Structure 1
Amino acid sequence: MELTQLKYFIAVAERLHFGRAARSLHVSQPPLSLAVRKLEEELGVRLFERTSRSVALTEAGRELLTEARMILSRAEHAAGRMAALASGSGGKLVIGYNEPALNTMLPEALFRFRGCYPGVDLELREMEPDDQLTALRAGVIDVGFLRPFHHDLGEFSAQLVYSENYALAFPPDCHLAGVPEPELVRALDREPLLIFARVVNPALFEAIAAAFYSRKVFPEFREFAHNKGSLLALARAGFGAALVPESSVRTAGPGLEFRAFPPILPPVEIVAVRHAAAASPAAVRFTALLAQS
């Protein structure tokens, strides 16, 4: 049984006339009649009562009409789903992310993508950068968002989607509040400075330290925190000023002041990462949309 046979059968069943059915399908009547006759032979039943003046459905024909309509509807639905999947306007897109992306550019990007491609089912997974890269290699996620510093991304397609500098956060009564920005770096010499713990990203820790040391500034680094929230909480508690991404001001809450930090440190960047060659169509569309931002 072929879909074309069912399509021809439905046309005849709905019009009860082989000639009119053939015209509606833009085919000649003999191939139509042959297709219906072969369908009857395959099923072992008569689908129509035919006379020289009329055509009527048999009980088997009426039963098949209901089933045939459902079969063709499901086939058309499946074809549409496959076309959407191939074009990137349908299917599923699994995105890995971590806190920096979620607190900056990712919500707006997801909102825009859902508006443009409502047929794509989005699944989000919070993951650390190394776990994202492993998941990308295994095909568990389609796109990842991470800070690229000291990650080898040569096997992937990576595009910069966000960049910012650092800010210094401290309580309102901190003596640093009155220091002019050009003197802010020098003012941190021998001062307690909260930064991400070395174990979080050893290469980044060393780069930040080197930026200070090369200027003959030697802060008392306090590497207690593994995340931005902990840095801000410790600064609020008086353990020292905290060096955090500028975007931290959005989620910091009360009790802290922020000062733009002179651009002596590596920028805080976020890249979107996907397979270079085997990316899904939806992943390609998503990263293309990011490039338009």
Structure 2
Amino acid sequence: MFEISQLRCFVAVAEELHFSRAAERLNMTQPPLSRQIRLLEHHVGAQLLERNSRTVRLTAAGKAFFPEAARILRIAEEAAFVARRAAKGEQGTLAIGFTSASGYSLLPEVVRRLRERAPGISLTLKELVSTAQVEALNAGELDLGLMRPHPVNGELDSQLIATEALMLAIHENDADQWPEAPTLADLHGRPFVMYSPYEARPFYQMLSERFARTGVVPDVVEHVGQVHTMLALVRAGVGAALIAEGAGRLKIDGIVMRRMATEPVEMVCTYRRDNENPVLHLFLRDVLPSFHATA
């Protein structure tokens, strides 16, 4: 079978119709160029060029072979280009898990910055609670998880990607009963919709620790796993709720959002340390630092 280098020599001669100019173009001397052409003709089984001391022209076989040879060279160059882009993480697929809360603000920004850096990549997006994301990462079903800080095993690593203020969601009819800048103490003894200790364990643990630290005991009337369910209960007048600022951008009739005068909450990106996906490494190297720069 002929080689790419032989095709490159033939195409150069076919375009120049001059061995000396073709050799100069390929940065080689004429003898090895002539040898490559003879080898190609041997592999093809037909004479491709007629040459004498004064002229070079394509035979009928050469004329038929020339466009196909040029096409093969283009395909080979494109294949090499694609491989280089894939090695750099500029082409390929990244599977991202995200919580419902991160889907309102953080995820769109992650997608935007990734596509700005590498327009050729494909993304697979899966909405999962943090515990399910950890399981999917361990199983190799996700490359990256956007979640609340969560206990992880030694095969996973997490880095801070964003912080958000806590927002108090209250029914509009109860707005006059709450201060403009509420604190955790304002929740003491009041009806409260809490996160599920199973489906939303990281947020549940975080709020439970803060309540315990400040001596606040809200009247927990429901435990739910998803933000939109929580807001539906607030709108129904069941109780107040605490949500991250990103989810607080949802405009729901009958609900008033107030920024809490308390420490913000964190969002991390989690991934397997042994994941060799070049797109993941591109994200960690080129995209994640941009979030820290704008924090």
Same fold (TM over 0.5): yes
Between the aligned partners of 2:33 and 2:80, the Cα distance in structure 1 is 24
Confirm or deny: 8 A CA contact 2:195 2:223 kept in the other structure. Answer: yes
Q: Higher mean Cα deviation, 58-67 or 70-79?
A: 58-67
Aligned partners of 1:210 and 1:14: how far apart in 2?
75
* Structure 1 residue 210, shift from structure 2 partner: 4.9
Aligned partner letter, 2:21: R
1:177 maps to 177
User: How far apart, in 2, do the equivalents of 1:178 and 1:5 lie?
Assistant: 81
**Aligned positions of 1:16-31 closer than 5 A:** 16-31=17-32
In structure 2, the CA distance between the partners of 1:236 and 1:19, relative to structure 1 (3 Å rule), is same
Q: CA deviation at 1:224?
A: 4.0
Computed over aligned residues only, the root mean square deviation of the Cα atoms, in angstroms, reads 2.4
Instruction: Identify the residue that residue 161 of structure 2 maps to in structure 1.
Output: 161
Q: Which moved more, 1:45-54 or 1:208-217?
A: 208-217
Kindly provide the CA deviation profile for residues 18-56 of structure 1, in whole angstroms up to 9, marking residues without a partner as x. 222112212110001011111111222111123333222
Residues 222 and 35 (structure 1), Cα distance of their counterparts in 2 relative to 1, 3 Å cut: same
Q: How many residues align?
A: 289
Work out the CA distance in 2 between the residues paired with 1:72 and 1:190.
75
Partner in structure 1 of residue 118 of structure 2: 117
TM-aligned CA distance change 1:207 to 1:276, over 3 Å: closer
Q: Is the 8 A contact 1:194 1:241 kept in 2?
A: yes
Distance 1:192 1:176, change over 3 A: farther
TM-score, normalised on structure 2?
0.87
Map Cα deviations across residues 206-227 of structure 1 (whole Å, 9 max, x no partner): 5534543554443220224221
List gaps (5 residues or longer) in structure 2: none
| Structure 1, gaps ≥5 residues long | none
TM-score, length basis structure 1: 0.88
Aligned match of 2:270: 273
> Does the C-alpha gap of structure 1 residues 21 and 174 become closer, same or farther in structure 2, counting only changes over 3 Å?
same
Partner of 2:258: 259
Q: Aligned partners of 2:179 and 2:54: how far apart in 1?
A: 101
CA distance in structure 1 between the aligned counterparts of 2:184 and 2:31, rounded to whole angstroms: 89
Structure 1 residue 146: deviation in Å?
A: 1.4
Equivalent in the alignment of 1:227 = 226
Confirm or deny that 1:137 pairs with 2:138: yes
1:52 corresponding residue in structure 2: 53
Q: 1:45–1:167: structure 2 CA closer, same or farther, 3 Å change rule?
A: same
Over 3 Å counting, the alpha-carbon distance change for 1:177 and 1:22 in structure 2 is: same
Gap change, CA 1:30 and 1:262, over 3 Å in 2: same
| Alignment CA distance shift 1:247-1:101 (3 Å) | closer
Q: Counterpart amino acid of 1:96? A: G
Looking at structure 2, the residues matched to 60 and 269 of structure 1 have their Cα atoms a distance apart, in angstroms, of 69
User: Does the 8 A contact of 2:196 with 2:224 survive in 1?
Assistant: yes
In structure 2, what is the Cα distance between the partners aligned to 1:125 and 1:204? Answer: 19
Q: Offset at 1:14?
A: 1.4
Contact 1:272-1:287 at 8 Å conserved across structures: no
- Provide closer, same or farther for how the CA distance between residues 187 and 136 of structure 1 changes in structure 2, counting only shifts above 3 A: closer
Q: Secondary structure at the match of 1:244?
A: strand
What SS class does the counterpart of residue 271 from structure 1 fall into?
strand
| 1:198 is aligned to 2:197 | yes
Aligned residues: percent identity? 35
